[in-house]
Amino acid sequence: MNIELNQEGFCLKPNQVATVRGGLGKTIVCESGTVWVTQDGDPRDVILRAGESFTLDRKGPALLQAFAPGSVSIAPADAQTRTARLAGFLKSAVPGAGFARGALGT
């Protein structure tokens, strides 16, 4: 597997898979492209597009796979991205509001 590391995170080629271990509470941020995220034992499939994020909420490994060339960053468990904060605000401000793909946190 070839992963290009940089300050913002890493780049994935189409169909390339990366494993995140010990990621509970960390936020996966799709900086560009489209990325599929799945966690061990989780029936959900999360699709992230550029600008979207998802916080890992299960122990065990998570897999990231790019559908097209893209870049991903992983924010520490205690850091929240602007997108995640906005999603949290909207969820609390509009009772019953949901997101079509459920990709903006849980």
Chain segment 79-100, per-residue pLDDT in tens: 555 666 667 666 666 665 555 5
CATH level 2 (architecture), domain 4-93: Sandwich (2.60)
Of how many residues is the chain composed? Answer: 106
* Half-sphere CA count of 52, side-chain side, radius 13 A: 20
Minimal CA–CA distance to 18: which of 8, 28, 26? 28
Domain boundaries, the chain: 4-93
Confidence category of residue 75, pLDDT binned at 50, 70, 90 = confident
pTM assigned to the model: 0.67
Q: What tens digit of pLDDT does each residue of 17-51 get?
A: 999 988 899 999 999 999 999 999 999 999 999 99
